[in-house]
Amino acid sequence: MPIADAYRSFAPNLTGPAVGGFDIVPDDGTDLPALPRALMVTVGGDVAVQFRDGATLTLPGLTPGVIYPLRPVRVLATGTTATGLKGLV
């Protein structure tokens, strides 16, 4: 029997809960498979990202388990020390 979903008629949006996710492997030359609505790390550290406009930014000292509302196109290996990165969609 399928699980009941009282919100199935609502369109996903940036303020709603995540409806999926994927593991992120930092890579200086490859975009993420999907544009996430947020990032999370399981082991804290720095995360270097690239945004759609090409701007790059290193976010220092991210805390494990915190959901960061970032929408990068790429997570860079250079400058990223955090591990267990997750993209939430």
Quick one: how far is CA 67 from the chain centroid? 8
Locate tokens 């020390």: which residue? 81
Read off the tokens for 79: 């400058």
Instruction: Quote the CA–CA distance of 18 and 67 in Å, as a whole number.
Output: 10
Q: Give Cβ neighbours of residue 36 (< 8 Å, ≥ 6 apart).
A: 21, 22, 70, 71, 72, 87, 88, 89
Q: In a structure prediction context, what are the per-residue pLDDT tens digits for the chain, which is 89 residues long?
A: 788 888 788 887 778 888 899 999 999 999 999 999 999 999 999 999 999 999 999 999 999 999 999 999 999 999 999 999 999 99
pTM: predicted TM-score of the whole model, two decimal places: 0.88
